[in-house]
Amino acid sequence: MSDEARQIDALVADGEAGVPLGLSDAYQSARFDADDARAAAARIRERPGAEALHLLLALRREAPETYRELPGEQRAQVLVAALRELPHLNDFGWMEPDGHGHDRTAAQALLELGDTARAPLVELLDDDRPAPLAGSEAATMSSTYGYRRSDYAHRYLSKLLRRDAPFAAEPAQRDAAIAALRNELRG
Amino acid sequence: MQPARQQPEPGREPVPAAPKAAPAALEPGLDSPASLLALQRSAGNRAVSAMLARNGSTPAPAAGVTPPSPPVPETDDQLYDDAVKANDWTKAATHLVKVAEPVKKLPALTVDQLRLLQDAMIRGGSALGGTGSVLQMAIGVELQAKGVAGTKTAAGSAFGKLETKVVEKTNGDKAAVKSYAYKIEITFLPDTATVNADEIAFIQTVQLVDTKTGANMDPEETNKKRMLASGTSIDRLGGREQGWYGMTDAGGGGATLRTWTKGDPTKPAFMMDRPSWITENTTWAFETSVVCRAGTDVGKVYATVTWGFKVDDDLKITEFDRVVTNKQTTEFSEGVGRWNTQAAGPEADRNAPGQKSLPALK
Question: From A88, which residue of chain B is nearest by alpha-carbon distance?
Answer: B277
Query: In whole angstroms, what is the distance from residue B13 CA to residue A153 CA?
Result: 56
What is residue B64's predicted lDDT score, i.e. its pLDDT? 64
**In three state form, how does the secondary structure of B319-341 look?**
ECCCEEECCCEHHHHHHHHHHHH
The verdict on a CB contact (< 8 Å) between B220 and A135 is yes
Rounded to 10 deg, the angle between the B111-124 and B129-145 helix axes is 160
- Tell me the DSSP string of A67-126: HHHS-HHHHHHHHHHHHHH-S--TTTEEE-TTS-EEE-HHHHHHHTTGGGGHHHHHHHTT
Which residues of chain B, if any, have pLDDT below 50? 1, 3-4, 6-41, 43-59
Model confidence over A24-70: pLDDT tens digits? 999 999 999 999 999 999 999 999 999 999 999 999 999 999 999 99
What is residue A1's predicted lDDT score, i.e. its pLDDT? 63
Is B276 in the A-facing interface, judged by CB distances under 8 Å?
A: yes
Is A130 in the B-facing interface, judged by CB distances under 8 Å?
A: no
Query: In whole angstroms, what is the distance from residue B325 CA to residue B331 CA?
Result: 14
Measured between beta carbons, the chain A residues lying within 8 angstroms of B275 are: 135-136, 139-140
pLDDT, mean of each 10-residue run, chain A (187 residues): 86 96 96 96 97 98 97 98 97 88 96 96 97 96 97 97 92 94 89
Please tell me whether residue B60 adopts helix, strand or coil conformation: coil
The verdict on a CB contact (< 8 Å) between A144 and B255 is yes
Outline where DSSP puts E strands in chain A: 93-95, 101-103
Residues 153-192 of B with CB under 8 A from A: 177, 179, 181, 183
The verdict on a CB contact (< 8 Å) between B255 and A23 is no
**In three state form, how does the secondary structure of A117-151 look?**
HHHHHHHHCCCCCECCCCECHHHHHHHHHCCEHHH
Please tell me what DSSP assigns to residue A110.
H
What is residue B63's predicted lDDT score, i.e. its pLDDT? 62
Question: From B210, which residue of chain A is nearest by alpha-carbon distance?
Answer: A23
Query: In whole angstroms, what is the distance from residue A88 CA to residue A108 CA?
Result: 17
Per the CB < 8 A criterion, the answer to whether A122 and A157 are in contact is yes
Per the CB < 8 A criterion, the answer to whether B271 and B256 are in contact is yes
Model confidence over B317-350: pLDDT tens digits? 999 999 999 999 999 999 999 999 999 999 999 9
The verdict on a CB contact (< 8 Å) between A136 and B249 is no
Query: In whole angstroms, what is the distance from residue B249 CA to residue B240 CA?
Result: 6
Is B351 in the A-facing interface, judged by CB distances under 8 Å?
A: no
Task: Specify the pTM.
Answer: 0.85
Q: Which of A140, A143, A144, A145 to mutate to test the interface with B (most CBs of B within 10 A)?
A: A140
Q: Which of B274, B288, B317 to mutate to test the interface with A (most CBs of A within 10 A)?
A: B274
Measured between beta carbons, the chain A residues lying within 8 angstroms of B232 are: none
The verdict on a CB contact (< 8 Å) between B248 and A96 is yes
Measured between beta carbons, the chain A residues lying within 8 angstroms of B208 are: 135-136
Per the CB < 8 A criterion, the answer to whether A55 and A15 are in contact is yes
Measured between beta carbons, the chain B residues lying within 8 angstroms of A85 are: none
CA of residue B334 relative to chain centroid, distance: 11
Of B249, B201, B243, B222, the closest CA to residue B337 belongs to B243
